[in-house]
């Protein structure tokens, strides 16, 4: 017999990981998803004759819960993860420089990469090495990461050639807007934990395949089924209300949606012990997908310095995907302009592309790709004041920035909170 019934709202990674965990623990789970697609912000769809991700997603070796989740849905073989940290850095008008770690104990594994990095002079190399060592202490740093860099003697060169290319995409925000605490978390977790933690990985299959497999194992998933709010009777949550008027009863509800959507669904979040949800700031990401008659990077991806395009991925022969994190006003530019911008940036950094002909360009953009709390605002945990209502989402309090790793952690934490509630009662 099932341990109880759970309605999960949202089939992003948070909702799906909660659903999977609960199904494995013996609950009857139904997932309600507003869209026709699975995966939420980590999804894919067809454009013309190509299936593309809504945006290039990467993870690191330290994203243990995400990697475990994909393993549990039987898709590990579709994930690529570097054996050791290695990135080809490019700067227009300059020779490429390869950052390659050694298999030495962390953080010394990065030392040879840093020493050989030609875009940093000796003083800047020393600054970065010192910065990584300092970051390991964390010490509850206050203020922005940009302030932290200034306070810790990191000059312009170190900032432009090292901290920006890695930290802006990792946290999807300009360094002035990133809290020192979250940046130091990323540096200490990725660069200083183990040689494997900074290794970069990506899915070899469209992202929706992972979500589809998770949904298949999690139980009933209803697409195009928008929830309008929890079903509240006698002052207690008893299930969810759907936009088509149906009411679905459940012992527990997990709302795995973005913060502003959550505020809308709850109507009066304060009643559930949740406040200031509209004060979570969203950051956009733009991706520009370019199909050339021929275009070979020679590696899986490269990082571009001093460019709004931070990373370029070789998705297939002739198909390059440009990733523009912390995209700011670029998110509202017309597609043609974005395609032109990326084509220009790529030809400047990759002279071999000047002989290639662009066949087609498509821009995908998400103005709310990630969320950060306003200064002084705490991210909520999974529990609410109602014993049957739980929340999840990459933006909630997982200790991680809003990433796939955070989404999976939040979903699993919400699921475990439900399991422990049934064990107590």
Ligand X SMILES: Cc1cc2nc3c(=O)[nH]c(=O)nc-3n(C[C@H](O)[C@H](O)[C@H](O)COP(=O)(O)OP(=O)(O)OC[C@H]3O[C@@H](n4cnc5c(N)ncnc54)[C@H](O)[C@@H]3O)c2cc1C
Contact status: 393 vs ligand X (CB under 6 A) = yes
CB of 55 to ligand X, least distance (A): 2
Alpha-carbon separation of residue 400 from 170, 347, 374 (angstroms): 11, 35, 16
Nearer to ligand X, 37 or 149 (CB): 37
Contact flag: residue 209 with ligand X (CB under 6 A) = no
In sequence order, the β-bridge partners of residue 383 are 390
- Taking a C-beta distance cutoff of 8 angstroms, is the pair 417, 424 a contact? no
Task: List the structure tokens of 249.
Answer: 């009863």
**Which residue among 20, 171, 227, 290 contacts ligand X (CB under 6 A)?**
227
Q: Which is nearer to ligand X, 148 or 371 (CB)?
A: 371
Nearest distance in Å: CB 152, ligand X: 26
Whether the CB-CB separation of 356 and 384 falls below 8 Å is answered with no
**261 contributes a contact to ligand X by CB under 6 A:** yes
Contact mark string toward ligand X, 401..420, x via CB under 6 A: -xxxx-x-------------
Interaction of residue 173 with ligand X, rule CB under 6 A: no
If one counts every other C-beta atom within 10 angstroms of the C-beta of residue 297, the result is: 17
| Residue placing its CB nearer to ligand X in the complex, 241 or 377 | 241
Is 131 a residue that touches ligand X (CB under 6 A)?
A: no
Q: How far is the CB of 112 from ligand X (least distance, A)?
A: 26
Q: Which two tokens stand for residue 295?
A: 């275009």
The residue written with tokens 């910065």 in the block is 131
Does 9 participate in binding ligand X (rule CB under 6 A)?
A: yes
Minimum CB–partner distance for residue 2 and ligand X (Å): 22
Smaller CB distance to ligand X: residue 307 or 323? 323
Residue closer to ligand X (CB basis): 17 or 127? 17
Rounded to an integer, what distance in angstroms lies between the CA atom of residue 248 and that of residue 238?
8
CA distance 375 to 299: 39
β pairing state of 252-255 and 5-9 = parallel
Nearer to ligand X, 321 or 353 (CB): 321
What's the closest the beta carbon of residue 106 comes to ligand X, in angstroms? 21
**Interface with ligand X in residues 26-65 (CB under 6 A):** 32-35, 40-42, 54-55, 57-59
If phi > 0 it is left, if psi is from -120 to 50 it is alpha, else beta; for residue 283 that is beta
Here the tokens at position 245 are 């008027």
Q: Is 237 in the site for ligand X (CB under 6 A)?
A: no
The DSSP call for residue 352 is: G
SS (H, E, C) 96-137: CEEEECCCCCCCHHHHHHHHCCCCCCHHHHHHHHHHHHHHCC
**Quick one: which segment of 82-90, 142-150, 231-239, 398-406 binds ligand X (CB under 6 A)?**
398-406
**Quick check: 372 binds ligand X (CB under 6 A)?**
no
Query: Residue 36's CB: how many other CB atoms inside 10 A?
Result: 8
Count of residues in contact with ligand X, rule CB under 6 A? 38
CA separation for the pair 345, 379 (Å, rounded): 37
Whether the CB-CB separation of 290 and 372 falls below 8 Å is answered with no
Closest distance of CB 5 from ligand X, Å: 17
- Strand order through the sheet with 200-203: 59-60, 200-203, 79-81
CA pair distance 306, 285, nearest whole angstrom = 17
CB of residue 31 to ligand X, shortest distance in Å:
9
Nearer to ligand X by C-beta: 114 or 324? 324
Q: What are phi and psi of 255, to 5 degrees?
A: -95, 105
Using the rule CB under 6 A, is 394 a contact of ligand X? yes
Candidates 304, 338, 369, 417; binder of ligand X (CB under 6 A) is 369
The footprint of ligand X on residues 262-321 (CB under 6 A) is 265, 285, 287
Q: Does residue 258 interact with ligand X by CB under 6 A?
A: yes
Window contacting ligand X (CB under 6 A); options: 82-90, 173-181, 186-194, 364-372:
364-372
What is the contact surface with ligand X in residues (CB under 6 A)?
A: 9-15, 32-35, 40-42, 54-55, 57-59, 226-227, 256-258, 261, 265, 285, 287, 366, 369-370, 393-394, 402-405, 407
């Amino acid at each position: 017999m099932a341990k109880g019934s759970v309605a999960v709202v949202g089939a992003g990674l948070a909702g799906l990981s909660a659903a999977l965990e609960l199904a494995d623990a013996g609950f009857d789970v139904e997932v309600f998803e507003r869209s026709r697609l699975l995966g939420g912000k980590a999804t894919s769809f067809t454009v013309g004759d190509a299936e593309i991700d809504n945006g290039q997603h990467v993870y690191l070796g330290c994203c243990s819960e995400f990697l475990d989740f994909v393993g549990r849905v039987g898709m590990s073989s579709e994930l690529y993860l570097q054996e050791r940290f290695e990135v080809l850095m490019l700067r227009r008008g300059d020779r490429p420089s390869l950052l390659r770690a050694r298999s030495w104990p962390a953080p010394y594994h990065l030392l040879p990469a840093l020493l050989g990095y030609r875009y940093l002079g000796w003083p800047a190399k020393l600054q970065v090495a010192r910065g990584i060592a300092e970051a390991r202490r964390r010490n509850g740093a206050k203020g922005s990461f940009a302030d932290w860099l200034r306070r810790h003697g990191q000059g312009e060169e170190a900032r432009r050639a090292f901290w920006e290319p890695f930290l802006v995409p990792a946290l999807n925000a300009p360094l002035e807007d990133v809290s020192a605490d979250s940046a130091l978390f990323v540096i200490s977790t990725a660069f200083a934990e183990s040689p494997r933690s900074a290794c970069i990985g990506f899915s070899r299959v469209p992202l929706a395949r992972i979500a589809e497999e998770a949904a298949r194992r999690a139980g009933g998933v209803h697409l195009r089924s928008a929830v309008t709010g929890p079903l509240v009777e006698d002052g207690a949550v008893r299930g969810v209300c759907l936009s088509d008027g149906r009411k679905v009863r459940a012992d527990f509800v997990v709302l795995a949606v973005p913060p502003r959507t959550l505020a809308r669904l709850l109507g009066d979040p304060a009643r559930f012990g949740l406040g200031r949800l509209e004060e979570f700031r969203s950051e956009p990401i733009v991706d520009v997908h370019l199909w050339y008659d021929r275009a070979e990077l020679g590696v899986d991806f490269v990082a571009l310095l001093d460019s709004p395009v931070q990373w370029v991925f070789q998705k297939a022969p002739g198909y390059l995907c440009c990733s523009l994190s912390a995209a700011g006003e670029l998110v509202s530019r017309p597609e043609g302009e974005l395609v032109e911008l990326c084509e220009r940036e790529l030809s400047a950094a990759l002279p071999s592309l000047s002989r290639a002909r662009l066949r087609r360009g498509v821009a995908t953009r998400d103005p709310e790709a990630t969320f950060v709390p306003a200064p002084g605002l705490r991210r909520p945990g999974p529990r609410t004041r109602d014993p049957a209502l739980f929340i999840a989402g990459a933006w909630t309090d997982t200790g991680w920035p809003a990433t796939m790793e955070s989404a999976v952690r939040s979903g699993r934490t919400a699921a475990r909170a439900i399991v422990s509630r049934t064990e107590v009662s």
